[in-house]
Copies of this chain bind each other. A is one copy, B any other.
Amino acid sequence: MCQPDIELLRRHTASHIMSAAVGMLFPDVKRGVGPWTETGFYQDFDFGEAEVSDKDFKKIEKKMRWIVNKDFKVQKRMLSGEEARAAFPNDEYKLELIDEILDRGEELSFYDFVGEEGRVFYTDLCAGPHLESTGQVGVFKITKLAGAYWRGDENKAQLTRLYGIAFADAEGLEAYQTMLEEAAKRDHRKLGKELDLFTFSELVGPGLPLFTPKGELLRSTVGDYLKQLKESKGYQHVWIPHITKKDLYETSGHWDKYKDDLFHVKGKSDAEFVMKPMNCPHHTQIFASKMRSYRDLPLRLAETTTCYRDEQQGELLGLSRVRSLTVDDTHIFCRIDQIQEEAEGVIDIIRQFYTSLNMWEGDNFWVSLSVRDPEKPEKYLGDPANWDKAESFLESVAKNNDLPYKRIEGEAAFYGPKLDFQFKDAIGREWQLATLQIDFVMPERFKLEYINEEGQKERPVMLHIAIAGSLERFLSVIIEHYAGAFPAWLAPVQAHVLPVNSAHEAHCEKLIETLKEAGARVEYYDSSDSLGKRIRNCQKARVPFAIVVGDKEVESGNLTVRKYGEEKDQVMTVDEFKAALGRG
């Protein structure tokens, strides 16, 4: 564990300040947990009979400012179980947490706000760390209020969660708020409706998007490109059903851990099934469907297929968090010494794919290389010698490809090391998208084998690869990244063809036919609206090109093209225009 950066400490201390401020206004309040988050912080409260709403934010913020101005020292203090319990005699939440910590054999640490003459103004059970004093927090804001169950369990008490944000100075807060406004403008749920990309139906249910024609074009354009990139590297596509007997997950080892997060399927028939939440166990069955020799390796099985996960309704969000997630999955079965070459191929695909999206640039992405925690070798399954090789292969590949990578100890899964690719979108948010994971365990669980050069049975290693990840989440990211104005190769509609008036219709028809034959996605937009209005509508629909056809164009055969977001037209030949629709 490394020390969290200053912004996380700021949020954590701000959370305690909010907690103390609430205590000044509501002396009987009890408190749940209050951590920092990726963007801010929160604290759960049990207000008892008191009514608290967003009308109280100002009052609480005023008290918080008072605490910041007081510049209390934030000091750690260790207590015994007895002392700790005595400090919160009436707070059943704290008492429950204290007992749990003691049960785990851990120590009880508290953080105090300490004022003049060592007087403790406020204290809370907390593992830390924090800023040195409340004065260092800077500017803050309470942003919203929501219900939250104690321990996230809907059978337990419902608490009130207050959310907040904190920054070093007013500029930080302002930049954050500008980002939020920008994010709201490009919210994929809003754009999805405006651009008619997908829809939800109450009859079908939450978390289950239906992709309308333009959305499906977007989906399949991404999917087809990924398929083409993968096939160029010798990946073979396969097809598996969306359900399976639970026997498959009992063998893979997922059953015990995840059975409560799966959708269970039952008919009047012989067996009970589950919907697949991942594809790897199914793909092992294709590997195992016949005897394999070393000559068959690497066997690279790819498939873009939909998985189902029983997400809680409250956590569903547009395409970002769905119950039906379509993964562009690949599983490579190979020998240990083939890992490096295969990983090079994977990086090639990731590079080409994200380059075509202009996301593979300088400091717009970074790669985490997750390896073992050297101090806890017992956490990892498989032969340490194989782990050594795999980790060093991945690091070599990262170096050979000049990837901006960070080696993170202790972040490897128990089954193998991995590379994760984090991309920044146009407004600075970071998304983990592509991944390459090595797996020593699943081939063992399924007893996968191939016959090596010496005629002996040997176990392959398995690589899990996703380039876009879940297509639904990937689409939510790029819809917001581009604010709906996709690069031409990806846009569902690449161009509108606009006759200046009805005399130019025939030429437009011929042109559309020519472009469609070349695979272009073009639509005709007749002259019942004015040319100006049509060009504006074309921009509103984020169509990359408006092609205007008048007398001059009919005569020359060239195209007058207005690019999305530009004020001026350019003249192109038909071939130049076709080239402009490519991935460049």
- A209 vs B240: C-alpha distance when bound (angstroms): 7
Tell whether, in the assembled complex, residue B263 and residue A263 are in contact, meaning their CB atoms are under 8 Å apart: no
Tell whether, in the assembled complex, residue B263 and residue A210 are in contact, meaning their CB atoms are under 8 Å apart: no
Q: Which residues of B contact A244 (CB under 8 A)?
A: 203-205, 208
Tell whether, in the assembled complex, residue A243 and residue B196 are in contact, meaning their CB atoms are under 8 Å apart: no
Of the candidates B203, B239, B243, B245, which one forms a contact with A308 in the assembled complex, judged by CB atoms under 8 Å apart? B243
Q: Is A338 on the interface with B (CB-CB < 8 A)?
A: no
- A204 vs B285: C-alpha distance when bound (angstroms): 8
Q: Which residues of B contact A212 (CB under 8 A)?
A: 238, 286, 289
Q: Which residues of B contact A251 (CB under 8 A)?
A: 203
Tell whether, in the assembled complex, residue B196 and residue A241 are in contact, meaning their CB atoms are under 8 Å apart: no
Tell whether, in the assembled complex, residue B239 and residue A210 are in contact, meaning their CB atoms are under 8 Å apart: yes
Tell whether, in the assembled complex, residue B203 and residue A245 are in contact, meaning their CB atoms are under 8 Å apart: yes
Tell whether, in the assembled complex, residue A285 and residue B242 are in contact, meaning their CB atoms are under 8 Å apart: no
Q: Which residues of B contact A238 (CB under 8 A)?
A: 210-213, 216
Q: Which of A219-236 contact B (CB under 8 A)?
A: 219-220, 236
Of the candidates B205, B245, B263, which one forms a contact with A205 in the assembled complex, judged by CB atoms under 8 Å apart? B245
Tell whether, in the assembled complex, residue A282 and residue B243 are in contact, meaning their CB atoms are under 8 Å apart: no
- A212 vs B300: C-alpha distance when bound (angstroms): 11
Tell whether, in the assembled complex, residue A273 and residue B269 are in contact, meaning their CB atoms are under 8 Å apart: no
Q: Is A202 on the interface with B (CB-CB < 8 A)?
A: yes
Q: Which of A258-287 contact B (CB under 8 A)?
A: 260-271, 273, 275, 281-282, 285-286
**Chain copies in the assembled complex:** 2
Tell whether, in the assembled complex, residue B262 and residue A264 are in contact, meaning their CB atoms are under 8 Å apart: no
Q: Which of A276-335 contact B (CB under 8 A)?
A: 281-282, 285-286, 288-290, 301, 306, 308, 310-313, 323-324
Tell whether, in the assembled complex, residue B201 and residue A289 are in contact, meaning their CB atoms are under 8 Å apart: yes
**Residue on B with the closest CB to A215?**
B239
Tell whether, in the assembled complex, residue A196 and residue B290 are in contact, meaning their CB atoms are under 8 Å apart: yes
Tell whether, in the assembled complex, residue A266 and residue B263 are in contact, meaning their CB atoms are under 8 Å apart: yes
- A290 vs B263: C-alpha distance when bound (angstroms): 31
Q: Which residues of B contact A219 (CB under 8 A)?
A: 239
Of the candidates B199, B220, B236, B245, which one forms a contact with A204 in the assembled complex, judged by CB atoms under 8 Å apart? B245
Q: Is A247 on the interface with B (CB-CB < 8 A)?
A: yes
Least Cβ distance of A444 to chain B in Å?
16
- A264 vs B265: C-alpha distance when bound (angstroms): 5
- A312 vs B271: C-alpha distance when bound (angstroms): 10
Q: Which residues of B contact A59 (CB under 8 A)?
A: none
Tell whether, in the assembled complex, residue A313 and residue B270 are in contact, meaning their CB atoms are under 8 Å apart: yes
- A112 vs B484: C-alpha distance when bound (angstroms): 77
Least Cβ distance of A317 to chain B in Å?
15
Q: Which of A402-428 contact B (CB under 8 A)?
A: none
- The list of the 7 closest CB pairs from A to B, nearest first, reads A267-B310, A213-B236, A199-B289, A201-B285, A211-B239, A241-B324, A205-B245
Please list 18 pairs of residues, one from A and one from B, whose beta carbons are closer than 8 Å in the complex, sorted by A's number: A196-B290, A201-B248, A205-B244, A205-B271, A208-B241, A209-B241, A210-B285, A213-B238, A216-B239, A217-B237, A219-B239, A241-B324, A243-B323, A260-B268, A266-B266, A269-B310, A269-B311, A269-B312
